Amino acid sequence: MKLLPYIIILTLLSGCGSTPSTDTPNIPTTSISGKAVVGAITTGTVYLKDSLNKEISTSTAADGSYFLNTTGLKKPYLMKAVFSNNSTLYSIVADNGVAHINSTTNWIATLAAFGLRLAEVYLYIKGELLVLLANIAGSIADSISS
């Protein structure tokens, strides 16, 4: 199994990290909203996959903003945005609130996934492994902001 070394590493790092806080306390606790942007492109579709492998999606507004109702979904989430120019960016989100999808969140997700292709991670990861990735991504984001 090609993923076994990564699963072992993720298991060892499971105690690391924290959940990034949100800056907007007025967002309902059963939703995620934000902006999805790649360069100047803001039109596309935002997908969210929960820890039980349930997927929802929505189109972005002209400015890249989006809103997803996460009622009944299990945190954390793996998100992707597919833009009108066929670019795809990812974000690992630990909780509801504000979550942007851009080149920085894609870079953090890439680092957290230890070199796995994010497209495959999006297709196959769920449950505790997604929780581990969210913790790692939170640690990376905390390190960047401090």
pLDDT for 4? 41
**Closest by CA position to 36, among listed 98, 99, 107, 101:** 101
Q: Can you tell me the distance from the alpha carbon of 88 to that of 106, in angstroms, rounded to the nearest whole number? A: 9
pLDDT for 119? 87
pTM: 0.75
The one-character DSSP state at 46 is E
Q: Can you tell me the distance from the alpha carbon of 90 to that of 108, in angstroms, rounded to the nearest whole number? A: 9
pLDDT for 53? 92
pLDDT for 20? 42
Query: Residues 6 or more apart from 86 whose CB is under 8 A from it?
Result: none
Query: What are 144's two structure tokens?
Result: 């960047």
> Considering all CA atoms of the chain, what is the largest pairwise distance in Å, rounded to the nearest integer?
44
Within the chain, which residues score under 50 in pLDDT? 1, 3-25, 27
pLDDT for 26? 55
Query: Residues 6 or more apart from 39 whose CB is under 8 A from it?
Result: 87
